Every structure is written in structure tokens, then in C-alpha cells.
């Protein structure tokens, strides 16, 4: 299969290396030091199974790579507007775009069904530029349940997990979805096919929409957040609001916040991706993780006082550091 990876960071780099090792024709859209590393040294992947080094075409201009059968978008949410502007040359009539990203995506309510079908979220796609550049007919959703690190550009360490959940936004069991799942399994991933990918997106969001911004605000690893009684209670209250919003839109969560926090505790003293972004001076993914939940809450009439507080503090913290638009 002819495949382009848009964003060869942690997750994108892992997917690129695995697919290339499985024999697919893989290329990458990258920038800066990552592009330089891919061109000069190739992509290096280290995991429990050993080490792999692959050479693949890389460019900062998608037109140089041409139309693909599959495009894996694995960038941070703030970069999506730029991806949507430039991705066109990679898209043919039948190209699948797999969105391997955190938070609420722009296509969340497309083909959703029911009262909220087709709802547009200004918090994640103001003006509709992303939807215009990446039409939802191309999209297959993906929820990533694994962990990687990038010690240096072009070098990916796979540290934990191996699970990908994929699904059509409309829930159908399509031929392209079956082919995609088989392709990812052939590259060594544990793949689940979902009939309600939005519910899987919401579940992951429910678990990480507190740890990420609280860690970014405080500089604390997750164990210290969970050890503070007041912060722990605040996080549970935020999760409660998000769970009620999820139930209102058809993405209910049966697990308790306490049980989900117990899972997080087992991961130990780790830094969230948002804290790592703050420390590196990179833009933060607040809108996809928090602003979108607040916007959906307003639309369904669910009060969000704790989410409002979390968003306000985290947004101001990021703005002061130049990591969120003024």
C-alpha cells in the first residue's frame, strides 16, 4: 500500500517504521530537524522487540510525494489548520485519512446520527478550514492506546501499549475499514474495529483531559497530582461533568472516575504530553482536549463550572508563555 505519514513524531514515527518494515511504500511529511534527520539518517525505532532502521522518502512539500492510498495524520491539534491547507496533493478520490490524534476531532459529529449529527465545533475548527481541507468522507477515526518517546528527531522509542482502535465516523463496517485494520495488524499493532468510534474518542478524552492541563499548570508528574487530595477531587469533578456531557450526546461512560484514576496511578511518575510540550516551548492542545468539551456542554445544556475553571487557568498559563493564541 502507498502510505504517507503526516507528522513523523512519536506516534507517526512508530506507525511509519512498522508499516515500512511490513513492506509498504511509506513516505513522510515532516519539517525542520525531523525532516533533516529522516533525509540524512532515516528513521530509527527501538522497542521491546528490538531495533529497526528504515529509509523512506520525506519532504515538507506534500506535492513531492503525490496521491496516496492512506494518509496517517499524527500531528498535534494546533498544527491541523496547516495540515488541512497543504494536504491536498496527497488525496486522491479514494484516499483514506487516518486521524491518530488526541482529543475531539473536527469530524466528531459527521455521520454521527441523531440530534447532533453534523454539528460543527468552533473550538476545534473555527471557520471550517480543516473540514474544507480534509473532507470527512476521507476520514477513518483512530484512538491510540500506546506510548512512545522521541529522544531526538528521527529516533522513536516505543515504551508501552500496542493498541489502536479504528472506526468509520458513521459506524459502518466498510471494506476500506477492514483493509485498513488488516494492514495495521500486519504491521504488528493490536487493532480493534469500533462501531462507535466517537465513544472511544470520548472515553480516552475523559481519562486524559484533566491530567494533561493540570500537569502543564503545575509541572507535576501524574503521581503527585493523584496524591494531592484537593487536586484529585477537582479532577474527579471535571470528569463527572465530561461524563454527563458524553451521556447527553450518546457516548456514555460506565466506569467511575475513581476507577479510571486507579489505572492512571499504575503508570507511576510520568510526564503528560502537554507538560512535555510546555517544557519544550511547543503549542498546547487545549482546544481539542478541553475547549471542545466545554463547547459541547454548552450546546447540550450541561453546566461546566469545573471545566471552565480548568480551561481558564490552563489557557492563561499557556498564553503567558506564548503557547496558545492571544
* pLDDT at residue 275 greater than cutoff 90: yes
- What average pLDDT does the segment 21-42 reach? 97
Whether 204 sits among the annotated catalytic residues: the reply is yes
- State the CB neighbour count (10 A cutoff) for residue 171: 16
Q: For residue 270, what pLDDT is reported? A: 87
Look up the CATH superfamily of 2-195. Answer: NAD(P)-binding Rossmann-like Domain (3.40.50.720)
- 110 vs 146: CA distance, rounded Å: 26
pLDDT band at 49 (very low <50, low <70, confident <90, very high): confident
pTM across the whole model: 0.95
Q: For residue 114, what pLDDT is reported? A: 86
Q: For residue 113, what pLDDT is reported? A: 83
- What average pLDDT does the segment 57-80 reach? 97
- Residues found in the chain: 326
Domain boundaries, the chain: 2-195, 202-320
Q: For residue 138, what pLDDT is reported? A: 98
* pLDDT at residue 316 greater than cutoff 90: yes
- What average pLDDT does the segment 202-231 reach? 96
* pLDDT at residue 323 greater than cutoff 90: yes
- What average pLDDT does the segment 229-237 reach? 98
Instruction: Indicate which residue of 76, 204, 266, 271 is catalytic.
Output: 204
Q: What is the DSSP string of 185-252?
A: HHTT-EEEE-S-HHHHHHHHHHHHTTHHHHHHHH---HHHHHH-HHHHHHHHHHHHHHHHHHHHHT--
pLDDT tens for each residue of 88-133: 999 999 999 999 999 999 999 998 888 999 999 999 999 999 999 9
Strand positions, DSSP E, the chain: 2-6, 25-29, 43-47, 50-54, 58-59, 68-73, 91-100, 139-152, 155-167, 190-193
- What average pLDDT does the segment 229-241 reach? 98
- What average pLDDT does the segment 67-85 reach? 96
Angle at alpha carbon of residue 250, lines to 254 and 73, rounded to 5°? 95
> Is the model more confident about 234 or about 267?
234
pLDDT band at 326 (very low <50, low <70, confident <90, very high): confident
Quote the distance between the C-alpha of residue 163 and its chain's center.
14
Q: For residue 304, what pLDDT is reported? A: 98
DSSP H or E run through 276 = helix 273-280
User: 202-320 maps to which CATH number?
Assistant: 1.10.1040.10
Mean pLDDT score of the chain: 96
* pLDDT at residue 242 greater than cutoff 90: yes
Amino acid at each position: 500500500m502507498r502510505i504517507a505519514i503526516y507528522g513523523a513524531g512519536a506516534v507517526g514515527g512508530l506507525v511509519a517504521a512498522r508499516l515500512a518494515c511490513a513492506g509498504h511504500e511509506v513516505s513522510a511529511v515532516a519539517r525542520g530537524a525531523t525532516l533533516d534527520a529522516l533525509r540524512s539518517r532515516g528513521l530509527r525505532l527501538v522497542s521491546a522487540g528490538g531495533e529497526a532502521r528504515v529509509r523512506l522518502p520525506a519532504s515538507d512539500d506534500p506535492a513531492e510525494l503525490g496521491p496516496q492510498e492512506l494518509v496517517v495524520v499524527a500531528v498535534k491539534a494546533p498544527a491541523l489548520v496547516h495540515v488541512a491547507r497543504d494536504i491536498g496533493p496527497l488525496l486522491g478520490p479514494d484516499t483514506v485519512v487516518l486521524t491518530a490524534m488526541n482529543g475531539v476531532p473536527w469530524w466528531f459529529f459527521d455521520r454521527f446520527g441523531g440530534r447532533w449529527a453534523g454539528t460543527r465545533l468552533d473550538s476545534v475548527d473555527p471557520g471550517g478550514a480543516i473540514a474544507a481541507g480534509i473532507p470527512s468522507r476521507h476520514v477513518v477515526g483512530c484512538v491510540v492506546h500506546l506510548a512512545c518517546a522521541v529522544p531526538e528527531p528521527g529516533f522513536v522509542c516505543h515504551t508501552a501499549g500496542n493498541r489502536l482502535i479504528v472506526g468509520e465516523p458513521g459506524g459502518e463496517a466498510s471494506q476500506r475499514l477492514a483493509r485498513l485494520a488488516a494492514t495495521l495488524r500486519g504491521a504488528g499493532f493490536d487493532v480493534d474495529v469500533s462501531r462507535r468510534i466517537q465513544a472511544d474518542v470520548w472515553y480516552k478524552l475523559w481519562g486524559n483531559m484533566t491530567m494533561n492541563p493540570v500537569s502543564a499548570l503545575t509541572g507535576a508528574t501524574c503521581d503527585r497530582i493523584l496524591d494531592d487530595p484537593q487536586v484529585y477531587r477537582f479532577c474527579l469533578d471535571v470528569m463527572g461533568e465530561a461524563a454527563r456531557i458524553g451521556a447527553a450526546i450518546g457516548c456514555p461512560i460506565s466506569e467511575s472516575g475513581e476507577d479510571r484514576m486507579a489505572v492512571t496511578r499504575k503508570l507511576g511518575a510520568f510526564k503528560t504530553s502537554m507538560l512535555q510540550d510546555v517544557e519544550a516551548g511547543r503549542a498546547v492542545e487545549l482546544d481539542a482536549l478541553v475547549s471542545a468539551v466545554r463547547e459541547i456542554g454548552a450546546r447540550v445544556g450541561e453546566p461546566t463550572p469545573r471545566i471552565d475553571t480548568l480551561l481558564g487557568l490552563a489557557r492563561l498559563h499557556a498564553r503567558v508563555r506564548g503557547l496558545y493564541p492571544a
